[in-house]
Chains A and B, each alone.
Chain A
Amino acid sequence: GQQVMQIPQYQHVQEGEDFTTYCNSSTTLSNIQWYKQRPGGHPVFLIQLVKSGEVKKQKRLTFQFGEAKKNSSLHITATQTTDVGTYFCAGETSGSRLTFGEGTQLTVNP
């Protein structure tokens, strides 16, 4: 079955440093979504990428979808303490449901 892998599992940064999490799928995806889950909270939708090679930006967050539509990344520039949480990618293939990765847990030291 479809598998979605994320690395790293944990990332500790100093406030102001950059952060990147990577997502890889075992199969070609029709789209990929990113979610953020704060400690004790629920996943909150950040963005959906659909096109091969797509790059989208939201303020300090940059999302990329690979040319082969099997990998994606989320990059945060100059992290802030409000960025703390677990970031999940979730891949969708035609006829299947979203498959979530294991997430990258980000901690930011002030």
Chain B
Amino acid sequence: ETGVTQSPTHLIKTRGQQVTLRCSSQSGHNTVSWYQQALGQGPQFIFQYYREEENGRGNFPPRFSGLQFPNYSSELNVNALELDDSALYLCASSFLANTGELFFGEGSRLTVL
């Protein structure tokens, strides 16, 4: 086990709704990265948080936003959900930004109807 926990594990939303996904990073890790993994695809980088600040963003629209808290846990928020947002959302923590092994959580499986 990596020590990275995510909630909820599964959820179903309808188009236009909003969703918040949560992640607790591994003890001692100050960096959290979020990835979107569509079925049969590799993980796509959404953004990274380092010491409560956004530290890089992938090619995702502004309706994808996030937060990191003083205890280094993190949230991913997605507004105005679209059908294509259906995917596995993975949180990964690491000790340092920009380098080194990523420790992934089990993921949150989002289905948008």
Chain A interface residues (CB < 8 Å from chain B): 1, 4, 6, 31, 33, 35, 41-45, 48, 88, 90, 92, 95-103
Contact = CB atoms under 8 A, between A and B. Distances in A.
18 contacts: A1-B59, A6-B42, A35-B102, A41-B106, A42-B105, A42-B106, A43-B90, A43-B102, A44-B2, A44-B104, A88-B43, A90-B42, A92-B98, A97-B48, A97-B58, A100-B44, A101-B42, A102-B42
Chain B residues touching A, majority SS:
loop
Interface residues of B, number: 23
Chain A residues touching B, majority SS:
strand
B106 A100 contact: no
Contacts of B48: 97
Contacts of B104: 42-44
Contacts of A48: 100-101
Given A92-B99, A97-B48, A102 B41 contact: yes
